[in-house]
A = this chain, B = another copy of it.
Amino acid sequence: MTNDHVTYEPIGTIHSPFESAVDMPIQPAGTDARGTVELRDAYAEGLADLDEFSHCILLYHFHESPDDAALSVEPFLDDRPRGLFATRAPTRPNNVGLSVVAIQAVADATIDVTGVDVVDGTPLLDVKPLVGAFDVPESVSDGWIADSDDAVADRRADDRFR
């Protein structure tokens, strides 16, 4: 970190069936889409033991998002403006994205996953194992999204954040 900036170098690429962010599933819950997480070959050793986990967390860069994030946005799942940090909108002050996906197989520098909701070619920043004791609270309240949960599976992205 220099001068209050953090610089990351993508460690690989997420491949998905989605060529465009428009008409893509909104979150993993909305899809069984298979994807492939391809790390650079040099990182293959770091994937050891990951196949014992059911899920992993992908952190990635929303590379198609513009740099001018609004702090109040109308999410795909709602019809009124919400505070940006109470949404998962892809255009943020830092365009970093997070998806929980199911691990199907790990081989060499590649993870086969299901539940992908990112555009093909998305730059990967990190992979972490999903750990129940760390990441899964006993009870979760979803705020405004609770009212729209039933709609997630049917909604698709549009161009509002492009």
Q: Which residues of A contact B (CB under 8 A)?
A: 1, 4-11, 27-29, 39, 43, 45-50, 52-57, 59, 61, 63, 71-72, 82-88, 92-94, 96, 98-100, 102, 123, 125-137, 139-145, 149, 152
Copies, count: 2
List, in ascending order, chain B residues with CB within 8 A of A56's CB: 85
B53 adjacent to A141 (CB under 8 Å): yes
A45 adjacent to B63 (CB under 8 Å): no
Which secondary structure dominates where chain A touches chain B?
A: mixed
A84 adjacent to B46 (CB under 8 Å): yes
A143 adjacent to B98 (CB under 8 Å): no
List, in ascending order, chain B residues with CB within 8 A of A93's CB: 9, 11, 43, 46, 126
Name the contact of A9 in the complex, choosing from B61, B71, B94 (C-beta under 8 A): B94
Taking the closest CB of chain B, its distance from the CB of A154, in whole angstroms, is 13
| Known pairs A50-B86, A54-B137; A132 contacts B143 (CB<8 A) | no
Name the contact of A133 in the complex, choosing from B82, B85, B152 (C-beta under 8 A): B152
Taking the closest CB of chain B, its distance from the CB of A79, in whole angstroms, is 14
List, in ascending order, chain B residues with CB within 8 A of A127's CB: 85
| Measured CA separation A69–B5 after assembly (Å) | 20
List, in ascending order, chain B residues with CB within 8 A of A137's CB: 54-55, 100, 102, 130, 136
| Measured CA separation A102–B49 after assembly (Å) | 29
| Measured CA separation A93–B84 after assembly (Å) | 28
